[in-house]
Amino acid sequence: MKYPISVELTKQSRLAEVDFDNLIFGRVMSDHMFVADYIDGEWTDCRILPYGPMPMSPAIMGLHYGQAIFEGMKANKSTKTGEPILFRPELHVERLNRSAKRLAMPEIPAEIFLEGVHRLVDLDRDFIPQSEGSALYLRPHMFATDAYLGVRASDTYRFVIMSCPVGPYYPKPVKIKVAEKYVRAFPGGVGFAKAAGNYAATLAPALEAKEQGFDQILWLDGKEFKYLQECGTMNIFVVIDGKVITPPTTDAILAGITRDSLIHLLKDKGFEVEERNISIQEVIEAHQAGKLDEMFGSGTAAVISHISDFSYKGKNFELSPIQGRKVGPMAKKLIQDYKVDAVEDTFNWLLPVRTTNKELSK
């Protein structure tokens, strides 16, 4: 193997501390983490360690100049075999590497990323929750580690994968405010990347929106302030007169893997799905004409989250109650059933986790 992995097992599992009936997103990590370092132009020292703090200089460049990127993916247990499975993991490697390229960071070899995920999930398989809508959330991420304050791309990096059992990210339908003042991304920028800074830039506007009673912001394009981009941590879908519409992915929109999966699943079920620019005006006009059936967001963490209403320039637009909606609830079930292997794997998206650590972890 080109990248051997050393393993140090935890001496004290924290599994008993997990309240599987009351999972808070991102709060409790599982027992182990995977770490690899980029030094002298090469990825090296791949290792699995007990999850915990790592000593680090306060001068690391990831902290100062934002060379920090991440992925979010999920592992579930197959309802057919009871074994852990992954959902389209290779797309997460590709996306992390697109983010890396834009932020002048080194690409991570697929072998390291995927082997790390397999070994980690195998080892911490007992942390995979099994209630509906829950999963083991994996957070692969990379950051610059040169301790240096000059502005340039770092020479060294660390890649880490950690995981945590999670329930639904948004437990209830979300109320959204359409952006009027702030912009998330613009052409030529980094909006398509899962860069830490993209999320940091949304926090103050999100707080402002929260103070006004909203859960999330629906971002409009940064050029004309007209077209829908994304909603909080999700891609946005609008259903008008039975037709499902979502903005095309550009350099200002994250290429969501749930988004892509949903487009395939909905088309497979015979729905008309359009990937095209959609203006906030078109959404409002559809609402006024009684043709705006639904709006929902999609994401790995969020799965499918229904939008109960949206507000634009001080005016609130209510959507039909959740029971009256068809596409969103069905889409949610389609994607959830697919991820737990409860339906046929038509698109060949599921990958069983290899059981390399079984002997080790006994």
Residue numbers at the binding site for ligand COI (CB under 6 A) = 72, 199, 233, 299-302
Length of the chain: 362
Strand 73-77 relative to strand 135-144, pairing: antiparallel
* Burial classification of residue 255, based on how many CB atoms lie within 10 Å of its CB (0-12 exposed, 13-18 middle, 19 or more buried): middle
Nearest distance, CB of residue 250 and ligand COI, angstroms: 18
CB of residue 199 to ligand COI, shortest distance in Å:
6
In the bound complex, what is the minimum distance in angstroms from residue 261's beta carbon to ligand COI? Answer: 13
User: With contact defined as beta carbons under 8 Å apart, do 307 and 315 qualify?
Assistant: no
The CB-of-96 to ligand COI minimum distance in angstroms stands at 11
CB of 300 to ligand COI, least distance (A): 4
Query: Which lies closer to ligand COI via its Cβ, residue 179 or residue 303?
Result: 303
Pull the structure tokens for residue 164: 């945590």
For residue 64 the two structure tokens come to 């100062």
Calpha distance 233→68 (Å, rounded): 17
* Dihedral, CA of residue 289, residue 183, residue 252 and residue 190, to nearest 10: -170
User: Of 50 and 189, which CB lies nearer to ligand COI in the complex structure?
Assistant: 189
Residue 161 forms beta bridges with which residues? Answer: 34, 140
Residues sharing a CB contact under 8 Å with residue 293, sequence separation 6 or more, in sequence order: 239, 240, 241, 242, 320, 325, 326, 327
Sign of the CA dihedral with 107 first, then 110, 111, and 116 last = positive
Nearer to ligand COI, 62 or 299 (CB): 299
Instruction: State in angstroms the smallest separation of the CB of 95 from ligand COI.
Output: 10
| Residue (46 or 234) nearer to ligand COI, CB | 234
Q: Which is nearer to ligand COI, 61 or 257 (CB)?
A: 257
- Nearer Cβ to ligand COI, position 20 or 199? 199
Least distance CB 258 / ligand COI (angstroms): 7
- In eight-state DSSP terms, residue 324 is G
For ligand COI, the closer CB: 301 or 334? 301
Ranked by CB distance to ligand COI, the top (closest) residue is 72
Q: How far apart are the first and last CA of the chain?
A: 24
| CA gap 298, 331 in Å, rounded | 10
Residue 246 beta carbon to ligand COI: minimum distance, rounded to whole angstroms: 16
Residue whose CB is less far from ligand COI, 301 or 353: 301
Say if strands 157-166 and 135-144 run parallel, antiparallel, or are unpaired. Answer: antiparallel
